[in-house]
Each structure stands twice: as structure tokens, then as C-alpha cells.
Chains A and B, each alone.
Chain A
Amino acid sequence: MSILEIQHLTKNFFLHNANREVHSCKDVNFSLEEGEFLGIVGRSGAGKSTILKCIHRTYLPTEGEMLYHSTAFGKISLVSASEREILYLRRSEIGYVSQFLNIMPRTTAKEHVMNALTEIGCDKQRAEQQAKEMLSYFQLPENLWDLYPNTFSGGERLRLNLAHTMVKQPRLMLLDEPTASLDDKSKLLVRDMLIRLKNENTSIIGIFHDLNFMDGLCDRVYNISEGVMEG
């Protein structure tokens, strides 16, 4: 069963100060099956991140339809869903991970992961237990759990990002070049984790620059060129 259907997705940005329209992605079509890992490749500026940000509704699509099969709502259009519905989906079903860490000040790594659960009503004790399990799963050293993540390395931040997103057990994961700043060893670790997530039936769309990284990981790979998706 497909979990996501993208139909004729087009995104343009109108820049008022320049009175100019910038075309980002054009007539993108694909569907994602449950438990499938779809890779998207393409040079910088080709429009890869735009697709993920449209699915996450950080960007408003210009044209097209995005149908998501939600546990809570059934089939729902991510284009016309209300803001409240999108917020619910982000909290409970759709996770987004980039290489950047968006964290509250004075929040430790463990609290950051716990917050993902407490904001959806989980009690503190259970949230702490699950946060610890998730931080172990993503192999963030235990001596870092009670520290503020400002000083973490790129790999440690990514693992924290993944733990923060995965602790909610999203059905759909959007990975926006999460490995961009990682060394080879850290990439291998992330790769192993993604394989484990895939084996647990998480549907994943991932953008990566490193083709070797994607080899054997993705079920399908699309190439984006000049905003147009090629099979």
C-alpha cells in the first residue's frame, strides 16, 4: 500500500523585491510504498530539498497534490490540510531530519528527546525511559546525555536529531541531507541505523549526495535535474 502519492508537484518562489519568480521543482510525480526507502539525488540547487519541504509543508506548493495515508485522518491532502492537522501529523506521524540541530537553549540531549514525547502528552517518567532507549539505539555516548548539545560534533548532533525524530516512531521519515557533514565512520553508523529503521517498516525519503552511501540502502533512486524528476 502506498503511504504517499505526489502528483504534478510544482514549487515556484515569487521574490517581491526582485519582482521575479524562481522555479524550484516542476511536475514531480512519485509514490512511496509502506516500508520503502526512496532516495533522491541531484546537484545542489536542483530542487531536492524543496520536495521534502513541500511534503513537510514548510513550503507551500504552487501546484499539484500530495496525498498522505494517515493513521489518524485516513487519506489526507498535505496541500489543503489545516495547520492544526499538519501540526498533528508532524508530532505523531511525519518526521523530518536535517543536518541542523534546532534545539531550545538550556536543554540537554536527553531532555531534547524527551520533549518530543511530552509535547504529545506522554508522562515524564515514560518519556525519560524511551528517550534513554532511543539515545542508546542511536549510540550517543551516555556521558553526553545530560549535556547541552552546543558542543556536539556533527555526527553526535545527527544521532541526536534522529533520536528526537524516531522516538515518536513516525511512519514517514524525511531525511534532508543528514549526512552532509559527517566523516565516513559516522556515515556508516547512520547507514546501519537507517537499515534498521527500514527493516522496522518505516517509510523513508532521503536526499544524499554520496551515491556510495545510498547503494544497497534505497529501494529506488530518483535523479532531480533542473527541478524535474528523472526515473
Chain B
Amino acid sequence: MPITEKPVLQVKHLTVRYGKGCPLCGEHLEKNRCTVCGTVWAANDISLEVYPGEVLGIVGESGSGKSTMMQSLYFDLQPTSGEAFLSDYHEGTKNIWDASAAEKRTIKNCIMGMVYQNPVMGLRMEYSAASNIAEKLIAAGNREAGAMTERAKELLSAVEILTSRMGEAPKHFSGGMQQRVQISKALANNPAILLLDEVTTGLDLSVQAKVLDLIRRIKAEYGISILLVSHDHAVIRMLADRTIVMLDGKIIESGLTDQILEDPQQAYTQQLVHSLL
């Protein structure tokens, strides 16, 4: 019985470059910056696949290109080159970065969900928690107020936000609550893939535990594939099936999560793992 599942997401040769580049760029990089022309290669030839129901962890130091990749996938920035395919978009045959503006909105609202490290980027802080969710539902074509209210209640309950507070604006919530509202908003239209960018950073331990528990439940109960960026190796160990390691805009190593953490092959990965307290 060979494993024949097709990837939910396939990224091929993603490159995000700031600067014009020059013929010598590839050979004269100091970290991710060309010493000849000054071009910065924020993401450099990244290829990866995410399969149904799996969590793919992404680790690497600040500036290694993790968030650049996530923001490219969520159309927050346009890559210089590369292709990405989603199984739910033209059955994985059309590059999402070639999609029309309307198609990109559909992908963002219905196929992918994004949770940013900073909730300000993912939530409208002045609107109520329920309105934040309704915004997503409306963007997906829902118009029936009663049904949207019920869906908002269901989603907020799932992330342990009291439904009695669904009318309040997230700016009055704690950081952990804002993060959970953001997750519920991202889940509004049952996306096939969830992009989580440092979602537990800056939260205290008990709140972190709630968010981790929530991510585990999303994986187990909804079967959603997750791309999980985290600096916290304990989080990666707990949640990720496979992990990739990034450095200077490139993927330098990938493997099963426990193998990456216990038998890292590359010098940088060994340094990263041995830096743990």
C-alpha cells in the first residue's frame, strides 16, 4: 500500500528578493545579502510540500525567511519568482501567485487561514469578536445573519472564548484571547490549510498551553494541515510531524521532527538544537 496522498500545498522554488540582483548574486552572498549589488534574498529557492492532516514545523533564527514565506503564501507580499499549488485551487494545477485578485481573495477566505504573531495584523481590533468572524463568513458569500451568529458562537466556544463576550472588541481582550479569536477567525470557512506564524510567542505559559491544546485539537478533530513557524522547539516537538530548518532565506535541512531535534545533520541545526536551555 504505497502512500498516494497528494500534497495540500506544494511550494516550488519560492524566491523573494529585495533589489535588482546581479549575475554574481548567487556566488557572493554574505548571509542573505549580495556583497556586490546589495540585493537581499529574503527567501531563496524554497520548495516544500504539506500533506493532508499534517503539521509541518518551520524553525530558524530571526531573519531566516520564515515569515517571508508565510506572508508570500498569504499574498501579503508578491514573490520575485516561484510557484505554489493548492489541491483545493484548480486541483493543484494552477500557480496561486498567478491568480486574479478575486481568486486570491477566495483563497485567503476559504482555502487558507493565517494567524499572525501580532494579532493586530489578523484582527480588526475595534470590531467585535463576532464581527471579525462574520467578516470572513461574508467574504465567503454568507449573508444570513442568524447562521453567521451561530457559526461565530460555535467557533468562539471551540477556542474557549465565552460567547457572552462575542460582542466585545478584541482590543479589550488579553493577548491569549486575541490569539484565540484570531485562530477562530482563521477557521471560519473550514480552510484546508492553516498558516501559524509564532502564535505562542509572548504568551504566558498557561495561555500558551491553551493555544497549543487548541492547535492539537484543530489537527485531530478538523484534520486541517498546518504550517507552523515557531522559535520554541518544545512547541515544534509537541505538534509538528515533520520539520524544516531555515537559514539565510534557504531551507538547509528537513526531516522527521524528532530526527531534526535529536540527530541534526547540519552545523547550523546542531548549533540551534544545542542552544536550548
Which of A's residues lie within 8 Å of B, judged by CB?
A: 13-17, 53, 57-60, 72-73, 82-88, 102, 104-107, 115, 118-119
**Complex contacts, B88 vs chain A, CB 8 Å:** none
CA distance A104 to B238 in the complex (A): 7
Cβ-Cβ contact count across A and B, 8 Å cutoff: 65
B3 near A105: Cβ-Cβ < 8 Å = no
Asked if A60 meets B3 with Cβ closer than 8 Å, knowing A83-B242, A119-B220, the reply is no
Interface of chain A: mostly helix, strand, loop or mixed: loop
Contact A15 B270 (CB under 8 A): yes
A106 CA to B206 CA, complexed, in Å: 9
A104 and B213 within 8 A (CB):
yes
Chain B: number of interface residues, binned into ranges: 20 to 34
Measured CB to CB, the nearest residue on chain A to B265 is A60
| Cβ contacts under 8 Å, B210 to chain A | 106
Please name all residues of chain B whose beta carbon is closer than 8 Å to the beta carbon of A58 when the two chains form the complex: 256, 258-259, 262-263
Contacts of A118 in B (CB 8 A): 220-221
Q: How far is the CA of A82 from the CA of B259 in the complex (A)?
A: 13
Question: Once the chains bind, are B3 and A82 in contact (CB under 8 Å)?
Answer: yes
Cα–Cα, bound, A88→B208 (Å): 29
Partner of A105, one of B213, B256, B271, B274: B213
Residues of A within 8 A of B5 (CB): 84
Residue numbers in A under 8 Å from B265 (CB-CB): 14, 60
Complexed CA–CA distance, A115 and B54 (Å): 15
The distance in angstroms between the C-alpha atoms of A84 and B212, with both chains bound, is 23
Q: What are the nearest 6 A-B pairs in CB distance?
A: A16-B267, A105-B209, A59-B263, A72-B1, A58-B258, A106-B213
Asked whether, in the complex, the Cβ of B259 is within 8 Å of the Cβ of A107, the reply is: no
* Given A17-B274, A83-B255, A86-B256, 17 more pairs with CB closer than 8 A: A14-B265, A15-B270, A17-B267, A17-B271, A53-B263, A60-B259, A60-B265, A72-B1, A82-B3, A83-B242, A84-B3, A87-B241, A87-B242, A88-B3, A105-B208, A106-B209, A118-B220
